[in-house]
Amino acid sequence: MEMSEMDGRRPYILCLAAFLLLAVPAYAAGRTNYHVSGTFLYYDHEGRIRPAAAVTARIMDRDPSPGDKDDLLTVVETDSEGRFSAEFTAQEYQDIYIVFVADNGTWRVVDSNEKTFMWFTPVIWDVCKDDAEVDFGKQTIGHNSDDLGERHNVGAMWIYQAVRRSAEFCNERRIALTGDKGIYTVIWTDVDNATYSSGMRTRIAHNHAYQYDVVIHETGHVLMHAHSAMPSGSGGRHRIDRAYNRQLAWAEGWATFYAACVLFDRGVNDADLPFFAGGVSVEHIPPRFARGDRNEMRVVGALWDFYDLNNDGSDGVSIKFSAIFKALAASNGRPIADFESFVMLLVSEIDADAGTVRAMHAALRHNTINYSMTKMMKARGH
Q: For the segment 48-98, what is each residue's pLDDT rounded down to a tens digit?
A: 999 999 999 999 999 988 778 999 999 999 999 999 999 999 988 899 999
- Angle CA 374–380–382, to nearest 5: 120
pLDDT at 3 over 70: no
Q: What is the pLDDT of residues 324-352, one digit of tens each?
A: 999 999 988 889 999 999 999 999 999 99
What is the sign of the dihedral through the CA atoms of 179, 180, 181 and 186? positive
Q: In CATH, what class is 32-101+115-143?
A: mainly beta
Strand partners, 124: 96
Please compute the mean of the pLDDT values over residues 278-297 and round it to a whole number. Answer: 89
pLDDT at 14: 42
- pLDDT band of 277, cuts 50, 70, 90: low
Cα within 13 Å of Cα(52), Cβ side:
30
Backbone angle region of 80, left / alpha / beta, with phi > 0 → left and psi within -120 to 50 → alpha: alpha
The span from the CA of 252 to the CA of 181, in Å, is 21
Give residue-wise pLDDT tens across range 21-40.
444 443 344 788 999 999 99
The three-class DSSP label of residue 188 is strand
End-to-end alpha-carbon separation of the chain, Å?
A: 104
CATH, range 240-382: 1.10.390
Identify which of 216, 223, 166, 217 has the alpha carbon closest to the alpha carbon of residue 200.
Answer: 223
What pLDDT score does 22 carry? 44
- Pairing mode, strands 31-43 and 132-141: parallel
* pLDDT beyond 60 at 307: yes
User: Would you list the domain boundaries of the chain?
Assistant: 32-101+115-143, 240-382
Q: How far apart are CA 192 and CA 348, in angstroms?
A: 40
* Closest by Cα among 230, 171, 43, 183 to 119: 43
Four-residue CA torsion sign, 222, 223, 226, 230: negative
Kindly report the CA angle at 295 between 289 and 298, in degrees rounded to 5? 75
Is 0.85 surpassed by the pTM of this model? yes
Q: Are 80 and 70 in contact (CB under 8 A)?
A: no
> Facing residues of 201 across strands?
185, 198
Whole-number average pLDDT of the chain: 88
The one-character DSSP state at 122 is P
